[in-house]
Amino acid sequence: MFKNKKFLLLTVLAVFSLVLAACGFGGESSDDKSKDDGKDSGSSETASAKELNLIVASEPPAMHPGLATDTTSGALLQNLFENLLSYDVDGKVVAGAAETWDISEDQLTYTFHLRDSKWTNGDPVTAGDFEYAWKWALNPENASEYASLLYPIQGAEAYNLGEGAVDGVGVKAEDEKTLVVTLAQPTPYFLELVAFKTYAPLNQKVVEANTEWYTDAGADYVTNGPFVLDTWKHSDSIVLKKNPEYWDAANVALETINIGMVENESTTVTMFKNGEIDYLGSPYGSIALDAIDGFKADGTLKTANYAGVYWYKLNTKDKITGNVNIRKALTLAIDRQGLIDNVAKGEQKPALGMVPSAISGFEEDRGYYKDNDIEGAKAALEAGMKELGIKDPSEINIKLSFNTSEAHAAIAQYIQENWSKNLGISTTLDNSEWQVYLEKLNQLDYQVGRMGWIADYNDAYTFLEMYNTAANGNNDTGWENAEYKKLLDQSIVEADPAKRLELLKQAEGIAVSEFPVAPIYYYTNLYVQKDSVKNMKPDMLGNIKLKYVDVE
């Protein structure tokens, strides 16, 4: 259902479980990717005026809610724009541009009632701004990669695929303060989706007058969130300022947010230790692996649950990994806790299922298999070898592929040792640059390949949907199962939350028993911050709403 999501998540996870993004610290304005840095030399604000200094790794690829697919852009956009619904400091859905909303008894019609709020150019924010933005994202000519997140809306998929008309999309501004949305089918997580960046509003007058409105700071970069894009020095720095016209401005403490761009992780650690930045950790930079132990030792390292999973995909069309018992052996023979303790060091959790424990309803261990189950792995290997006519484990050589990264290489080497010691098989490590690597997975030109997945909303469906068919663009394993797909399809229309949760768990159980993926660990977010920084922590989706942050 939700296509084109791979690009985002692969970009997000191009490094370790920490979403390793190196950052550079800039001068007075900045262009960045999804982070915040440091100092605006042209600003008259001082630390006493509530300044926050952050970093990001690079230039944000798309400062447009309908085009952004990366975490860098997303980190900024969620503080510049406000959706109908938003998140509080703990990641709970709360009112945003909409003050209240109603849901029909059949759960197909959502009516949002907007509060009085303004764009930064003084225009009122209207229901029509949301209708326009959502239909803009769905317009196939605009090539919005996250348009599929709007597919629960009636007629949205058909319009986006060029098979229907825009008039058939179930979004209508009945008046300036009332937006009525009609869904194609009940979608229990729809309110979570409404808080996602692709659902942000656009000022139609501005967008149609200047198609490049989002490429620079200035009068045309019109937003409705708690902060405004004050300056943007491309590939150097970005400065955000408090939006005095924001409806809840009285409860926004920060006046200035300086965001620099620094790529080297060791440099960013030094900057934090020297007091040049106030916070270090996703989505505003990341902690270098060799610095984690030091921050642990001095008690400053903080950990937050993160709804993401690091896993190895297995090519079910390959002669060797196409055997379910071989896949089972490879999965069971991994010492996840040892990997976390000795390599990752980020206090991650061993993944014993496909859905992270940070997702609602999946907090407990589902008991599908044990970590480092050597006896079970050996039994599965023996059964698989018999089925394939292989007499000795030494005849098996697995190619383990990953995209170029010291972190991914370190994980692969550890698992290579696990498989050699526990199963007696050999492993060839195969690393490729990102785009080449993605193409290998796409073409099933691999045996075992690493990947990560992070939730866009708090629901298990986002982790399970990609394997509903082999044709799903995010599958990359060749695996499909009719009963699995049936359960997912049933979960879409099931209105009872408890019954729907059970359907999703049954589906997960089927997939885990056939091992198209070998889950490795569930992500955590590691971060450090100055004692003076308050209410700044990533929620389970990795978001940080800066409107709640204060600096003493």
What is the torsion angle, in degrees rounded to the nearest 10, for the CA atoms of residue 350, residue 356, residue 360 and residue 362?
Answer: -60
**Cα–Cα dist 287/9, whole Å:** 19
- Determine the angle formed by the axes of helices 406-423 and 374-388, rounding to 10 degrees: 80
Q: What is the DSSP string of 284-340?
A: B----HHHHHHHHHTT--EEEEEEEEEEEEE-TTSTTTTSHHHHHHHHHT--HHHHI
**Cα–Cα dist 177/27, whole Å:** 41
Residue-level pLDDT at 5 = 38
Per-residue pLDDT of the chain (552 residues; tens, 9 = 90+): 333 333 333 333 333 333 333 333 333 322 222 222 333 333 333 445 899 999 998 899 999 999 998 888 999 999 999 999 999 998 999 999 999 999 999 999 999 999 999 999 999 999 999 999 999 999 999 999 899 899 999 999 999 999 999 999 999 999 999 999 999 999 989 999 999 999 999 999 999 999 999 999 999 999 999 999 999 999 999 999 999 999 999 999 999 999 999 888 899 999 999 999 999 998 999 898 889 999 999 999 999 989 999 999 999 999 999 999 999 999 999 999 999 999 998 899 999 999 999 999 999 988 899 999 999 999 999 999 999 999 999 999 999 999 988 889 999 999 999 999 999 999 999 999 988 999 999 999 999 999 999 898 899 999 999 999 998 888 999 999 999 999 999 998 888 889 999 999 999 999 999 999 999 999 999 999 999 999 999 999 999 999 999 999
pTM summary value: 0.82
Residue-level pLDDT at 48 = 56
**Cα–Cα dist 353/336, whole Å:** 12
- Asked whether the beta carbons of 479 and 470 are under 8 A apart, the reply is yes
C-alpha angle 363-369-374 in degrees, rounded to nearest 5: 140
**Cα–Cα dist 380/375, whole Å:** 9
One-letter amino acid for residue 440 of the chain: K
- Asked whether the beta carbons of 386 and 331 are under 8 A apart, the reply is no
Tokens of 156: 């949205």
Q: Is 532 left (phi over 0), alpha (psi -120 to 50) or beta?
A: alpha
The CA-atom distances, in angstroms, between 341 and each of 224, 337, 348, 409, 462 are 44, 6, 9, 16, 28
Residue-level pLDDT at 495 = 82
- Asked whether the beta carbons of 430 and 436 are under 8 A apart, the reply is no
**Cα–Cα dist 140/209, whole Å:** 20
**Cα–Cα dist 487/469, whole Å:** 12
